Structure 1
Amino acid sequence: MATILMDTSSAWDVLDGANLPEGFRVEITNGKIIMTPQGEQRWKVILRAAPQIEQQLAGHGDILSDVMIDFPSSLWGYAPDLAIIAPGSERNKRGRFEWHSLEAVLETVSLSTRDNDFEKKLRMYAECAIPLYVIIDPSEHVCAIHRRPTRRGTYEEQERIPFGKDLVLPLEGREIVVKTDGFPRSES
């Protein structure tokens, strides 16, 4: 059984003052700083999904992309592809949102991030009780929706939505519908 360590420091603190290269995504997994090039498929998914989500939120929550989120351990620092922030959430003393402010996280998987998205992030997001975790997979042409997190690091419900069908995100007291027919498809 996986356990997250509660810690008052943020994983992001190790990068304070660092001059990071542009064009790379930076995350911290199990205390290791991981930098990956930003991929075209990922960017196109964000470009198509974010405006749809933002329009439907209509002031009842917020959406962020590639923004540092503080998690309850100094070993994990994620900046989700898309994060839906619950209405009324406030930033911490570092100026960042914390894990408990997240209503949903959407990640676009690539060959280089597969292990993180399907295993490590899934476990961490479930342990942190993030209600909805969606993995968008351009190579499989599918969105994997994970609902009902457990403290064991799993989600009790999973559903696969093929590209071309509507991706329905059930949030607290409302529903967001994302059209996936424009999502990029890769064959690798």
Structure 2
Amino acid sequence: MAVMVMNAPSAWDALDGVNLPRGYRVEITEGKIIMTPQGEYQWKVILKAAPQIEQQLAAHGDILSDVMIDFPSSEYGYAPDLAIVAPGAERNNRGRFEWHSLEAVLEVVSKSSRDNGFNKKFRLYAECGIPVYVVIDPEVGACTVHRGPTRTGTYDDATDIAFGQDLVLPLQGREITVRTDGFPKSGDLD
């Protein structure tokens, strides 16, 4: 995979030298730093999905969780819940992966993030050409797999998968299958 060295400022540069509180997710949207506590549903989904993905990737890619990714705009700095990095992808001169290194992004939606961030993420991920974007919604008990990104900020295809069915991630030349039967639904943890 070709490496693009990013010379433009990164949104993450605004946080250089800042001590951030533990237990908070930090992202940058439209130049604004947004800190939110990680929810229990989000954490439990990540704990269930990440090992399944990592085991199937073996040496053909990598998985990251809540790790800073450089996007082609200094206005956006996202750290996806789960990001699958393409085999052979290399870090930029800042030591981070860039958007074009990602084969898939999985985000767990919560009540507080549903309206605020996911429309912007959907648009940015599509514009950046991230091939697979999955929204996992514990309130609904379903995952939506978006494929076929367009430069206009949409995806050509969306498939809903109910919790309990297998979530299949179509990656470059291979598929990853995630069992969702252990994903918590809203109300399961009450």
Q: TM-score, normalised by structure 2?
A: 0.94
CA-CA distance at 1:115 after TM superposition: 2.1
2:150 and 2:126 map into 1 onto residues whose CA distance is 6
Runs of at least 5 residues in structure 2 that lack an aligned partner in the other structure: 1-5
1:63-142 correspondence runs (5 A)? 63-142=63-142
| Matched length | 183
Q: CA deviation at 1:7?
A: 7.2
Q: What value does the CA root-mean-square deviation take over the aligned residues?
A: 1.3
CA–CA separation in structure 1 for the residues paired with 2:23 and 2:61: 28
Identity value in percent: 74
2:48 counterpart residue number:
48
Say if 1:7 and 1:73, in contact at 8 Å, map to a contact too: no
The aligned counterpart of 1:3 is: none
In 2, Cα distance between equivalents of 1:17 and 1:80: 22
Please, which runs of 5 or more residues in structure 1 have no aligned partner?
1-5
TM-score, with normalisation over the residues of structure 1? 0.95
Cα distance in structure 2, aligned partners of 1:58 and 1:116: 35
Query: SS at the partner of 1:112?
Result: helix
The superposition leaves residues 72-104 of structure 1 with CA deviations (integer Å, 9 ceiling, x where unpaired) of 000000000000000000000000000000000
CA distance in structure 2 between the partners assigned to 1:93 and 1:61 by the alignment: 20
Query: Partner of 1:39 in structure 2?
Result: 39
Q: How many Å separate the matches in 1 of 2:157 and 2:115?
A: 20
